[in-house]
Structure 1
Amino acid sequence: MVNPNFTVEENEDSYTHITPDYFLEDPGLFCEKSNVREFATYFLPPIYWCVFFLGLLGNILVIIIYVYYRRLKTMTDTYLINLAIADLLFLITLPFWAIATSHDWIFKTAMCKIVNSVYTVNVYSGMLLLACISIDRYIVIVQATKAQKYRTKRLILSKLVCFCVWTLAVIFSLPEILFSMVKEDSYLKSCTISYPTYLSKTLKVTVLALKVTMAFCVPFLIMLFCYAMIIPTLVQARSFQKHKALKVIFAVLAVFVLSQLPYNSMLVVKTWDAANATVLDCKTSQNIDIVYKITQSIAFLHCCLNPFIYVFIGVKFRNDLFKILKKFSCITESQWANCIRVESNTKQLSEILETKMGTLSL
């Protein structure tokens, strides 16, 4: 009889781990997982490589634009460049995942610890920075007078906030730093998280619950509150740009929910299973593993989309991007002139309408 209540629970939470064909609970009791491994081998590597190249391009462009064309003038600027750095740190681990999924873990234990911990640092820092961006937008739009009054202090505060975010992210990633290791069995080598036996269940539940809470629930609630306060302010304003701002807000929330909610829902399932030792039949366990891998891959797409939904939709950033493309001869002189003309006309139209309507730019 197959009993899928696995004793090697920590393997399921290893982000570079390739699920073995079987998990052993007692001699003679197996749950076959070869279909899960075969699915991962064909499905995951192309996703990892696509996310790697697209995310690398977008986030490197963000950093280049900030370094060469912009100074860190606002709190959001500081948060955005830190977000790009966090995404880049995660992206450089994806080739290791792709190789491990196609074959097995061919690297040393030190690299196993680095890859697992860097991923976890990105998860926490990235989500908390998105919450910080939402708070800053709330202050700038809803509390505009106070924001202008304390502009210099807010810029200094943003650096302190980023330091705290990175510190928290590193602290939250300590389980990956301490307990990640390379294991070898008759099937493959894997980079996995192996908790001490006497703390295995408690640590696993704590780590999973912390990820769901601090890397999804708290940032999502902060974003929801801030944007719920921002939207009425934008609706009441007569700014030419308000419709665009509203679209951006809905895009931000939609991308966050669609990319993160499915994955975190699966983490809740795993947390519940770990806390209550839920007995699942082998087929259900296989399906959960497959859905978990799919939703995790969808969650990875967020680091590709961040540069576009937070940065490149801005007029100034687009102009800076056009300058970079022109500098490296990626666009012609005529295309450059057309880009400048379109952006200039848009800006003039916005200023004319706002002047006539007596509005303030948001």
Structure 2
Amino acid sequence: MMERRDERDAGDMVGRKRLRLSSDEGSDLFDSLPDDIVLLVLAKLSSSARSPRDFINVLSTCTRLNRLALQPAVLKEAGTNTVAVRAKNWSDSAHRFLKQCVRAGSTEATYFLGMIRFYCMEGRKFGAALIAKAAIRNHVPALYSLAIMQFNGSGGDKSSKDLLAGCALCARAGDLGHIDSIRELGYCYQDGYGVPRNLKGARSLLTRAAAMEVACCVRASSEDVIRKCETRLDAIMSFKTVPGANPGLGHAYWAGSGLQFSPRETHPANRFLLEWFAIQADSGSDPGRVGGVKLCSDLNCGRSETRENEFRRCSGCANVRYCSRGCQAHDWKVRHKFECSPMPQLVHHAVDEGF
């Protein structure tokens, strides 16, 4: 038994010596790692990278990482920031990378490329199919985007609208905690738009959306604003809507409650749309697309009309248009309530009259 132990100790010493010698000679111990472990590390990087560059830099490190990083098991885990290509960096290689991620099964890449193909590259059918594929996997932004497309009949004519499908998609996204979907469904019940009119249900949904929005503001606000929110907590339960009123007007109450609504975080897909159409407008390469067909007036949306007069205009001034009630309500709180008529007209009238 002692002899076996001595042999084992001798073997360990030889192994440590070889490892030390290989390190001293400059060889890379990374090569000794099994592919399975490297794939797990790359999959974690793919899901948590802060930008596409963080992931792409790995591809240029060595041949082995380049080969393994493009494996379906890694690309399937690609997260939102990994596939968030900027419009100014759009190229054939970026397009190929997104398609590889889609084929591997990345839900984020499926939605991102679907939005690009539907709104930017005129691939309406293929883009809608990709967005629907992501929605089937319960991707919340895809569910809401598909609902907007159903409400507006995007990609077709007015007869292409499917209000019931839009309400069903909003209900599913609302169950997953999407505030704009809950608000959209609330207004559908309020107006009888796609569903039977139900004012009690509408009030419940709109109250829920307002409460969730306040909670988000509380988490992102300073202690001073938090104290103001606590003193007005009863406002959540007393929130009322007026049938037929401007969708944004009901939220004006919160402006007087001490809450400061900041612009919502822009999804990388919407940011791409905004940058894409800004580049097209600056270059003048596609004047009919940018000038003839309008964009949603919410500065964080970026969706464009797929036909003339597809989006609904503001009932107060008719100078802005929105793809959805969610965009209208948000833009009202952060910007449009300071611009909407009749206030601008009253000011101009007062100036003209010499006051």
- Larger relative helix fraction: 1
Larger RCO, structure (CA 8 Å, separation 6 or more): 1
Q: Aligning the two structures, in what range does the TM-score lie when normalised by the shorter sequence?
A: under 0.3
Q: Name the TM-score, length of structure 1 as normaliser.
A: 0.23
